[in-house]
Each structure stands twice: as C-alpha cells, then as structure tokens.
Amino acid sequence: GPPCPTDWLVLQVPARALLEGDMVRLRCRRWWDMWVTRVRFYHEEKDLGETLDGTELSLPPLQLNHSGRYRC
C-alpha cells in the first residue's frame, strides 16, 4: 500500500532516565493503534535502516554518541 504519512507515527521510548550501558528498545506505533507492517528508523538524519521485526529497534548498550533525536 501507499506509505504512511510520518505525522501519523509515534516513536515510543522509555519514560525513565537512560544511562550509559542501558539497553533500549524504540517502538514506532501509528496513531489510534492502526496497523503498521514496517518502518525505518533515523538518528538525527542518519538512516538506521528498516527493522527485521517491523516496528521495533533495539539499540546496542547506550553510549554518549547515541544521544540525539530519533524518529521513525
């Protein structure tokens, strides 16, 4: 089908403070829990690629260089 407009997507992140070494999973959801089959993730403007499981991205243990803006 046609691509989903990016303003319909929400990036979910942990609500707690994150520290170096923490494991983090980012999840991309569509408003109103509508179905999404797969998404691409970006850190700043760098394309992190398409995920194999569709809507989630696991980051390696956090380091300072992981800080910044993420989007899907």
The answer to whether 32 and 62 are in contact (CB under 8 A) is no
Q: Is 39 left (phi over 0), alpha (psi -120 to 50) or beta?
A: beta
Q: What is the pLDDT of residues 31-72, one digit of tens each?
A: 766 667 778 899 999 998 877 667 888 888 999 999 999 988
Q: What is the pLDDT of residues 1-32, one digit of tens each?
A: 445 555 578 887 777 888 999 998 888 887 76
Confidence at residue 11, expressed as pLDDT on a 0 to 100 scale: 82
